[in-house]
Amino acid sequence: MRVALFTETFLPKVDGIVTRLRHTVEHLQRNGNQVLVVAPEGGITEYKGAKVYGVSGFPLPLYPELKMALPRPAIGHELERFKPDIVHVVNPAVLGLSGLFYAKVQKIPLVASYHTHLPQYLQHYGLGMLEGLLWELLKTAHNQAELNLCTSTAMVEELSSHGIERVDLWQRGVDTELFHPDLTCPQMRSRLSQGHPDSPLLLYVGRLSAEKEIERIKPVLEAIPEARLALVGDGPHRLALEKHFAETNTHFVGYLTGRDLGAAFASADAFLFPSRTETLGLVLLEAMAAGCPVVAANSGGIVDIVTSGVNGYLFDPKDEQGAIAATLRLLEQKQERETIRQNARLEAERWGWAAATRQLQEYYQQVGAKRLAENVLVG
């Protein structure tokens, strides 16, 4: 099968969506498919045998890490040359609109997927008044597709409740070899704790952006003065966070990748994740695969992954003391923490990228077969 994948973000950017797409492209190619990735230009022309067609763009004003690449006729010509059996648009927003348009014009079956909970993001950038309008735009875009995929049951329900049709679940995936408890490393623990390896080590991994609500970790750090916090990642909110966490035991580590990232997860005592805007929270699965106990907000797609008191802890995002109580319990109950570690790993082992990609291929085949049957009836 020939798959044209449109995305607003791809390599060299590092985030949860790019991670998912990297593994998806690799496994689709490995399974004998041919993939064309249409993405904002990033200096990459090939990935795991798939062609990457870069579209020039400019930095997004509120989010300079992201490039806005505008639709243009050359994209249509590239699709005509590639002759895809399916077009899959990831987060149809700007560049993705060209995927919707050319799929219709060239009569190619269309799948869309929803990974970024944009309506909730607006609240964190002072644009909450636009939420209703954004839902209408999302509904118009997604309802062009023959199938809309979400990465959590919470998002399936949310999109359906806002009038988006033909919604189904695309199961989660995680690299259980790269993220493994055996990667625990004294040197990495010392690095993350800035030379205090015997202190409780709290970890956050992800974009440093307003919608991640990282500021909510500070009261936890203040309630446990001997603890150290390592923030792994980067983003537009970093300077504000450096001011917010000044005078605390916080280390801004920057990006880590590969085995270094796996070692960071495996070497920490707890992974704190305060965000309430997650469609999936892939980074949670990575932490769990590495045996790092999770303390996360009881919100969105997180509840699909974490069972509180079994493989992690959930706290009420409206309760200011919830994250503090959950983290204290985790750090104080050593035997319970070890059980949580083991259960977290077992949960992560259920979800590999190969299975998630096989499910996606089945969706592609169903959409393609349905379109073929409709054409036969019309003919």
pLDDT of residue 280: 60
pLDDT of residue 215: 96
Q: Per-residue confidence at 23, pLDDT binned at 50, 70, 90?
A: very high
Which residue has 């064309």 as its token pair? 36
* Alpha-carbon distances, residue 259 vs 175, 182, 354 (angstroms): 11, 11, 20
Angle value at C-alpha 116, between 115 and 118, nearest 5 degrees: 145
Q: Per-residue confidence at 62, pLDDT binned at 50, 70, 90?
A: low
Cβ-based neighbour number of residue 351 at 10 Å: 17
Angle value at C-alpha 162, between 281 and 115, nearest 5 degrees: 25
pLDDT of residue 120: 66
What are the phi and psi torsion angles at 86 (to 5°)? -150, 145
Q: Per-residue confidence at 116, pLDDT binned at 50, 70, 90?
A: confident
pLDDT of residue 186: 97
Question: Looking at residues 97-113, what average pLDDT do you find?
Answer: 97
Question: How many structural domains does the chain have?
Answer: 2
Q: Are 323 and 71 in contact (CB under 8 A)?
A: no
**What span, in angstroms and rounded, lies between the C-alpha atoms of 146 and 163?**
14
Comparing 346 with 132, the larger pLDDT belongs to 346
Both 189 and 151 in a single domain? no
> CB within 8 A of 121, min separation 6: which ones?
211, 277
The answer to whether the peptide bond before residue 12 is cis (omega within 30 degrees of 0) is: yes
Using one digit for the tens of pLDDT, what is the confidence trace for 189-242? Answer: 999 999 999 999 999 999 899 888 999 999 999 999 999 999 999 999 999 999
pLDDT of residue 122: 60
pLDDT of residue 172: 81
**What span, in angstroms and rounded, lies between the C-alpha atoms of 73 and 205?**
39
Both 189 and 295 in a single domain? yes
pLDDT of residue 14: 82
pLDDT of residue 189: 98
pLDDT of residue 128: 67
Q: Looking at the predicted structure, is the pLDDT value of residue 121 above 70? A: no
Both 69 and 137 in a single domain? yes
Q: Per-residue confidence at 89, pLDDT binned at 50, 70, 90?
A: very high
Q: Are 352 and 174 in contact (CB under 8 A)?
A: yes
Characterize the bridge pairing of strands 46-47 and 34-40: unpaired
pLDDT of residue 125: 62
Residue 355: both structure tokens together: 């299975």
Using one digit for the tens of pLDDT, what is the confidence trace for 152-185? Answer: 888 899 899 999 999 999 988 899 889 999 999 9
Both 320 and 231 in a single domain? yes
Both 167 and 241 in a single domain? no
Both 168 and 47 in a single domain? yes
Range of 96-110, 280-294, 363-377 with top mean pLDDT: 96-110
Q: Looking at the predicted structure, is the pLDDT value of residue 127 above 90? A: no
Both 290 and 363 in a single domain? no
Q: Looking at the predicted structure, is the pLDDT value of residue 119 above 70? A: no
**What span, in angstroms and rounded, lies between the C-alpha atoms of 79 and 158?**
32
- Residue 73's domain comprises 2-173+352-378
> How close are the terminal C-alpha atoms of the chain, in Å?
24
**What span, in angstroms and rounded, lies between the C-alpha atoms of 249 and 134?**
39
Both 78 and 198 in a single domain? no
pLDDT of residue 277: 66
pLDDT of residue 318: 87
pLDDT of residue 194: 97
- Hey, which residues does 53 pair with through a beta bridge? 38
pLDDT of residue 30: 96
Both 66 and 156 in a single domain? yes
CA torsion angle 347 350 354 358 (round to 10): -120
Question: Looking at residues 353-366, what average pLDDT do you find?
Answer: 94
Both 145 and 233 in a single domain? no
**What span, in angstroms and rounded, lies between the C-alpha atoms of 86 and 31?**
16
Q: Could you give the percent of the chain with pLDDT greater than 90? A: 73
Question: Looking at residues 23-27, what average pLDDT do you find?
Answer: 96
Q: Per-residue confidence at 301, pLDDT binned at 50, 70, 90?
A: confident
Both 166 and 192 in a single domain? no
CATH of the domain at 233: 3.40.50.2000
Q: Per-residue confidence at 307, pLDDT binned at 50, 70, 90?
A: very high
Question: Looking at residues 349-367, what average pLDDT do you find?
Answer: 93
Lowest mean pLDDT among 67-71, 200-204, 206-210, 305-309: 67-71
Greatest Cα-to-Cα distance within the chain, rounded to the nearest angstrom = 73
Average pLDDT, the chain: 91
Both 40 and 165 in a single domain? yes
Using one digit for the tens of pLDDT, what is the confidence trace for 51-61? Answer: 999 999 888 76
